[in-house]
Structure 1
Amino acid sequence: MLGNLGRIGPARLFVHFAVLLIVIIWLIPTLGIFVTALRDKDQIVVSGWWTSFSGSSRTIAVRLAGSDKATQDGANYIIKGNVFDGSNNNGSGRVRSFGLRVQEPAAYQAGSQADLGDGESLTINSDGTYLLQRNGAFAADERARRVYLTVATPPEFTRDNYRTVLTGEGIGQSFINSLTVAIPATIIPILIAAFAAYALAWMDFRGRALLIALVVGLIVVPLQMSLIPLLRIYNDIGQVFGVPSKTYPGIWMAHTAFGLPLAIYLLRNYIAGLPKEIIESARVDGASDFDIFVKIILPLSFPALASFAIFQFLWVWNDLLIAMVFLGTDKDHLVLTAALNALLGSRGGNWEILTASAFVTILIPLLVFFGLQRYLVRGLLAGSVKGG
């Protein structure tokens, strides 16, 4: 293996390390979202996700038992209890240190005795038990003493965050809505673009070069520029035929219109780069253009189809603007991005809910990308130099 590394040039080795670094940088926030979504909400507030496997520490304030709990022990009066019991139940854990002032919560180590003056002492053990001792009686109206603790809590993971998101926050229905939008909006433009790409690559007809130039020009048209005209046409057609304005077919057609230029461009470049001998041999054997397209072009073009499917699916899945314009914001049609945006406004402080929602959002795109990524580079680069 060392010999193989020695034969790799410095430039190629640099590229390998750069790609590895990019992958690590990309994976770190994804891992952080996944781990945070499984943590207890109290631990999320006090420590970062990278400390989740080693536990966390926090400072809490508790009041010890009052003078009514005092008992006499010889010449002394004592108060016993546990800082994690009753009204002081701020969570389980181990006491690391304690103090009498908020500025010094670690003044005394757990298990050590703190001299409070006037014959009074306090000992708090790591398990939370404490002993407050005085060589005189406690006054009946004496206020319970407040202490500050540094508490170490063990790692705690839970699936309740995901249960809350999928059942109680409406994310589950929005997840289904996004799939209902994304799957047809990915398949429809691929089917249309594949036919158009074959025609532009292998069929001779007048105006073909002009159509190719038009397709390339449409790629750079901003979505926002064409959104309002497309919406007006869609609404006018809906009024003529009595079709509701907020429907799934409407948003399918919108995503198809916005995705077709890039799809035709990518597929045309790929199909034009296929060996023309195969096409000519099929025509000599009497195959029609439709037979050639279905039996030869489509199987050979799978890498290009898969690469565009990745782009189109990710774009549709992460879309917010088109979904809100063509579907609205009612609960029955709310897509995942819109639901997460609403959740961010109403539950912005609940990080356990937001991280679980975010991971649910990126789960499907991750599966699609890793399932088809081996075709991505091959489909994009094939035909980029040679074209018909």
Structure 2
Amino acid sequence: MSDIAGTKPALRWVVHASVLFLVVLWVVPTLGLLISSFRTADQIATSGWWRSLFPSEQNLTLRSAAPETQVLENGIYVIEGNLFDEGTKATISKWGISSRAIDAFAPGETAELRKGGTITVDAAGNYRMENPDEFTGSRGSRVFATAELPPEFTLANYHKVLLAEDSTDSMGRAFFNTLTVTIPATIIPILVAAFAAYALAWMDFPGRALIIAAVVGLLVVPLQLALIPLLKFHLNIGIGKGYLGVWMAHTGFGLPLAIYLLRNYMAGLPRDLIENARVDGATEFQIFTKLILPLSFPALASFAIFQFLWTWNDLLVAKVFLIDASGQTTVMTNRIVELLGTRGGNWEILATAAFVSIIVPLIVFFAMQKYLVRGLLAGSVK
């Protein structure tokens, strides 16, 4: 009965459920990272991103106005104000004047200060300090409060990460460094592989089968095996401490897959088209540039997606071949590692930096995804 037209086998529902599960598995963390990048450090520390649209209860350390703002009223020195910043709408449920008893008082109750005088705090954060003697000191009194804060979103994290100058958090330079590495490292192997793939697909010469077998064999070779020998070679010829070295490294590691994909696609193109062009007197270069390249665009775009994503997200090759003690050529993946090492508690900065690093690959993938499957499946079926 499962083969009757109009029915859907149970296996199809399993496939659909699996695809839906994978989509949710990838989308949910990305959405959480995006939301966290707009939240403050206190909000991230007290509630998950899925509660970002609801009020959250936080333990805050606040401070009253400095003693220099006190006024004399009927023989009593008074300091009044609000514990929160202007525009902040929060509701205090408990408060205290000691870190050991942050919930000692309810809103509206009065506490005695250690240095003399009293303080009264209401639910809105308004306070009144009174003392028969003059308040002394250069700073206001600390007040510990448990308050319910409304949801808050800010662009300050992005400003700090992207635009702040002379800051260890800034990723603006790292962003352009990553583009400088990724764009040439994507274009160069495509150009080289396209010529090689055409030759292996449509030109007869001795040893072609052996070269194809070698290309397939190189697909399974881990790049880690070649890191040290290749780095020594780059250092000997003088390209091991700059962009040229990392471009050549990415080109070498990406060529086997590029040649394999493009050769399979080009070999599946109609033979009559190639033969007719040769009969009409077209040279191999003209056939390649005017026929093969336009028809091979899906395969070229497919590899471009892979190569771009790999080089953009790469850390190992960049750390090995892009040697720079001053940090002028640091890429984004390395900058995030540095943030993890120096600012492990500032999750709002890490979330923002991580999302900035993935936004460009997401744009590239969604813009060119229609060519991905076409390029991968090309040449697999005759």
TMscore range, shorter length? 0.7 to 0.9
Deviation at 1:26, TM superposition (A): 0.6
Q: Report the TM-score, using the length of structure 2 for normalisation.
A: 0.81
Deviations, residues 161-217 of structure 1 (Å, cap 9, x unaligned): 111111334411111111111001101101111111111111111111111110011
Could you say which residue in structure 1 is the equivalent of 2:115? none
Residue of 106, 125, 130 corresponding to 1:128: 125
Q: Is the 8 A contact 1:60 1:90 kept in 2?
A: no
Q: What secondary structure does 1:360 align onto?
A: helix
Deviation at 1:139, TM superposition (A): 11
Deviation at 1:237, TM superposition (A): 2.5
Q: What secondary structure does 1:287 align onto?
A: coil
1:354 partnered with 2:350: yes
Could you say which residue in structure 2 is the equivalent of 1:3? none
Q: Is the 8 A contact 1:70 1:138 kept in 2?
A: no
Could you say which residue in structure 1 is the equivalent of 2:173? 173
1:222 partnered with 2:222: yes
Q: Which amino acid aligns with 1:312?
A: Q
Deviation at 1:7, TM superposition (A): 4.7
TM-aligned CA distance change 1:313 to 1:150, over 3 Å: same
> What is the rounded CA distance, in whole Å, between the counterparts of 2:61 and 2:330 in structure 1?
44
Could you say which residue in structure 2 is the equivalent of 1:246? 241
TM-aligned CA distance change 1:70 to 1:298, over 3 Å: same
> What is the rounded CA distance, in whole Å, between the counterparts of 1:217 and 1:312 in structure 2?
19
Q: Which amino acid aligns with 1:360?
A: V
Could you say which residue in structure 2 is the equivalent of 1:381? 377
Q: What secondary structure does 2:93 align onto?
A: strand
Residue of 268, 272, 284 corresponding to 1:277: 272
Could you say which residue in structure 1 is the equivalent of 2:234? 234
Could you say which residue in structure 2 is the equivalent of 1:266? 261
Q: Is the 8 A contact 1:37 1:356 kept in 2?
A: yes
TM-aligned CA distance change 1:23 to 1:124, over 3 Å: same
Could you say which residue in structure 1 is the equivalent of 2:251? 256
Could you say which residue in structure 2 is the equivalent of 1:200? 200
Deviations, residues 126-169 of structure 1 (Å, cap 9, x unaligned): 32346899xxx99999xxx9986431111221111111111334
1:299 partnered with 2:294: yes
Q: Is the 8 A contact 2:34 2:352 kept in 1?
A: yes
TM-aligned CA distance change 1:147 to 1:254, over 3 Å: closer
Supply the RMSD in Å over aligned alpha carbons.
3.6
> What is the rounded CA distance, in whole Å, between the counterparts of 1:124 and 1:259 in structure 2?
65
Q: Is the 8 A contact 2:42 2:58 kept in 1?
A: no
- Structure 2, unaligned runs of 5 or more: 1-5, 113-118, 136-140
Q: Which amino acid aligns with 2:40?
A: D
> What is the rounded CA distance, in whole Å, between the counterparts of 1:185 and 1:245 in structure 2?
15
> What is the rounded CA distance, in whole Å, between the counterparts of 2:63 and 2:329 in structure 1?
51
Deviations, residues 265-321 of structure 1 (Å, cap 9, x unaligned): 111111111121221222222222211111111111111111111111111111122
> What is the rounded CA distance, in whole Å, between the counterparts of 2:142 and 2:316 in structure 1?
53
> What is the rounded CA distance, in whole Å, between the counterparts of 2:44 and 2:147 in structure 1?
15
1:164 partnered with 2:160: yes
> What is the rounded CA distance, in whole Å, between the counterparts of 2:63 and 2:272 in structure 1?
87
Deviations, residues 310-352 of structure 1 (Å, cap 9, x unaligned): 1111111111222122221332211111122112211221112
1:150 partnered with 2:149: no
Q: Which amino acid aligns with 1:24?
A: V
Q: Is the 8 A contact 1:271 1:297 kept in 2?
A: yes
Q: Which amino acid aligns with 1:326?
A: F
Q: Which amino acid aligns with 1:294?
A: T
Q: Which amino acid aligns with 2:83?
A: F
Could you say which residue in structure 2 is the equivalent of 1:332? 328
Q: Which amino acid aligns with 2:123?
A: S
Q: What secondary structure does 1:281 align onto?
A: helix
> What is the rounded CA distance, in whole Å, between the counterparts of 1:90 and 1:282 in structure 2?
75
> What is the rounded CA distance, in whole Å, between the counterparts of 1:131 and 1:97 in structure 2?
17
Deviation at 1:356, TM superposition (A): 1.2
Structure 1 stretch 362-371 or stretch 165-174: which is displaced more? 165-174
Q: Is the 8 A contact 1:95 1:128 kept in 2?
A: yes
- Structure 1, unaligned runs of 5 or more: 1-5, 117-121, 239-243
Could you say which residue in structure 2 is the equivalent of 1:287? 282
Q: Is the 8 A contact 1:95 1:149 kept in 2?
A: no
Alignment of 1:177-192 (within 5 A): 177-192=177-192
TM-aligned CA distance change 1:71 to 1:381, over 3 Å: same
Q: Which amino acid aligns with 2:11?
A: A
Q: What secondary structure does 2:94 align onto?
A: strand
Aligned residues: 359
Could you say which residue in structure 1 is the equivalent of 2:39? 39
Structure 1 stretch 19-28 or stretch 212-221: which is displaced more? 19-28
Q: Is the 8 A contact 2:64 2:83 kept in 1?
A: no
